[in-house]
Amino acid sequence: MAEPQHKAHVSAPPAPETHAAPADHARQHQHRDAIARRLARAEGHLAAVRRMVLEGRDCPDILIQLAAVRAALEATAKLVLADHLQSCLQDVASGQENGRPEQAAQAWEDLRRALESFIR
């Protein structure tokens, strides 16, 4: 059997960034468990893709699996956004943040920045 012509190269993954959650983030999120499950599945899938790379599997096979991981992460991000809109911004939109306009303005600015970084 012939050796694959294109082998992927692996470098060490970057160190994960850590971000502390705001201490005042006490809102209840409806989809937290579903999001965590989706991320765990994507993490397992990505680990399998990494093994494919280390085993020297063909690049097209790796790219197909990477596309699947990317699609799973994008679907998870949409769920995070929906959860944020339902649990965090609903109070702002319904006027329950009256008396704290700076907090409402900050919530909208946080959403704007998050969307700006996500939709590139």
**CATH dotted code for 30-76:** 1.20.58.1000
Q: pTM to 2 decimals?
A: 0.65
Domain-by-domain residue ranges, the chain?
Answer: 30-76, 88-120
In sequence order, the 6+-apart residues with CB closer than 8 A to the CB of 76 are 35, 38, 39, 42
pLDDT in tens for each of the 120 residues of the chain? Answer: 444 444 544 444 444 444 444 445 556 778 899 999 999 999 999 999 999 999 999 999 999 999 999 999 999 999 998 888 887 777 676 665 566 677 778 888 888 888 888 887
Distance CA 113, CA 12 (A): 29
